[in-house]
Structure 1
Amino acid sequence: MEEKLTYDNWNDQVQAKLNARLKDFMDVIKWAFQVYEDKILYSCSFGAEGIVLIDLIAKVNPCATIVFLDTGLHFPETYSLIEEVKQKYPNLNIKMVKPSLTVEEQAAEYGNKLWERHPNLCCHIRKIQPLARELSRVDAWISGLRREQSIGRRNIAYINKDDRFKSIKICPLIHWKWDDVWEYIKLNNLPYNKLHDNNYPSIGCEMCTLPVKDGRDARSGRWANFQKSECGLHQ
């Protein structure tokens, strides 16, 4: 087995060789589980890309760990989809990871509807801190980022050094287009979040997600009233 690339032994030359050697998304996923074994997880929001990656990952490792950051503020459709996925892939280890504070405890400490006043702090408490705890137990994580999604994601590679979480971030779908995602879902008859049928290309917490008008950036419905388009997990 080849040497495991971790945050502590990061090497730019090794990264460049890996990104040149890995030919496609399945190569990336197979490599990830061969090298990191049980020291890798997939952090999934259960959007369209997430459903595709779950299906691909299950073909390589049917018992993989899938982490969902359960903020307690997601759409009912998202929670319903997760239950469908659990039934379809019973061997996957789907973990509902919650923040240290409930929504009520957060309101008591920071005031009601923190997401309306300080969305960055709300995301930090309900997403970043919980994921940091999970990633502290592994060496690498998989993400469904695609270059097409936004300007800030155009330079993502298959294998990335993740300075925020001191980890290795692996992104198998970087070259996929939105149409590719949906073609795969339909060809494989996969369950998906029904909000996608109502102009929600990117789905997060219910309070911070709006439908997107035709022609707009896919993430323009996230935190629409703020100068913010990322929760902070990806930098």
Structure 2
Amino acid sequence: MSFLKPDLWKIPRLDARDFAKITEKETALFQRIAQIAQHQQNAKFASSLAVEDMVITDVIAKSKAKIVVFTLETGRLNPETLELVDMVKTNYPDLDFQLYTPNSEKALAYDEQKGRYAFYESVELRRECCFIRKIEPLNRALQDADCWLTGQRREQSVTRTELPFHEQDESRGIDKYNPIFDWSELDVWAYILKYDIPYNRLYQQGYPSIGCEPCTKAVKVGEDIRAGRWWWENKDSKECGLHK
């Protein structure tokens, strides 16, 4: 797009080989989703509406897998992200798609007692905000689930290099699956562009990883794709606690 600065991250350019390579990964993903739906009674997919999650959402919808898709509407999301929520509902009318929001009293108390932007002051205050706006709503979403799915990939972060397909969420006593743990960034975009899947317009503005509006910014070419998440913190602390 014309307003994108030349030094900012851009959606990867793909060629015919990239689209050809995705076929095998795509087939495996459909098989993984089917396997999860077959072996679990109440599977739920926590979608952040990132491109990774849009890939998984599309496969769940196309395969008609009995898997609930939900998003945490933190109250601090970008307008572009909220726009995508409506697009998911429109594009996948038969999908069981749900929104979970923070406890309004706790969110307000944090803002009044600590400050609306107190999360910039320390990792502890940032994680407290993440707990109120993300983790507590996630706990509610998963309270009746026997497993949950994520869009995490090994390539995304130094904290995810050993990520497996299947793991145990010991704190909740349920299974956890990462269906595209072994996908590359190019794999994800090949699927998105091949099938014209809707995605967040912020990707067109230099945002390769998107969270809450005050905690996310565009990144430069060559930077880590999660460099724009909690950019004021050390890279080793850049997790909100959802996957701890």
Q: What TM-score bracket applies, with the shorter chain setting the length?
A: 0.7 to 0.9
- Does the 8 A contact of 1:143 with 1:170 survive in 2? yes
1:93 aligns with 2:102: no
How far apart are residue 109 of structure 1 and its match? Answer: 4.2
Q: Does 1:131 align with 2:135?
A: no
Give the equivalent residue in structure 2 for 1:78.
81
Q: Report the Cα distance in structure 2 between the residues aligned to 1:166 and 1:207, rounded to whole angstroms.
A: 33
Q: Which residue of 1 aligns with 2:183?
A: 176
Q: Would you say the 8 A contact 2:33–2:65 is kept in 1? A: no
Task: Give 1:187's aligned residue.
Answer: 194
Please say if 1:233 is aligned against 2:242. Answer: yes
Whether 1:104 aligns to 2:108 is yes
- 2:19 aligned partner: none
How big is the shift at 1:34? 0.9
Q: What displacement does 1:122 show? A: 0.3
Residues 34 and 65, structure 2, Cα contact 8 Å, conserved in 1 = no
- What's the offset of the Cα at 1:62? 5.7
Correspondence for 2:45: 42
CA contact 1:158–1:171 (8 Å) conserved in 2: yes
SS in 2 for 1:232: coil
Query: 2 CA distance for matches of 1:156 and 1:59?
Result: 26
Instruction: Give the corresponding residue for 1:142.
Output: 149
The corresponding residue for 2:15 is none
Matched, 1:211 2:215: no
1:141 deviation in Å?
0.3
Give the unaligned 5+ runs of structure 1.
1-22
Distance 2:119 2:63 in 1: 38
Deviations 1:160-203 (A, max 9, x none): 11224432111110111101111111110111001111221110
Using the alignment, how far apart are the partners of 2:231 and 2:171 within structure 1? 24
What's the CA shift for 1:234? 1.3
Tell me the equivalent position of 1:221: 228
Tell me if structure 1 keeps the 8 A contact 2:71–2:98.
yes
- 1:70-111 deviation digits (Å, cap 9, x = unpaired): 110000000001101100001112111011135434313443
Unmatched runs of 5 consecutive residues or more in structure 2: 1-26
If asked which structure has higher relative contact order (CA below 8 Å, sep 6+), I would say: 2
Say which of 113, 116, 120 aligns to 2:127: 120
Q: 1:162 to 1:82 in 2, by over 3 A?
A: same
1:66 matched residue in structure 2: 69
1:62 touches 1:92 (CA, 8 Å); kept in 2? no
Question: Is the CA contact (8 Å cut-off) linking 1:43 and 1:67 kept in structure 2?
Answer: yes
Aligned counterpart for 1:154 among listed residues 139, 158, 161: 161
Q: Compute the RMSD of aligned alpha carbons.
A: 1.7
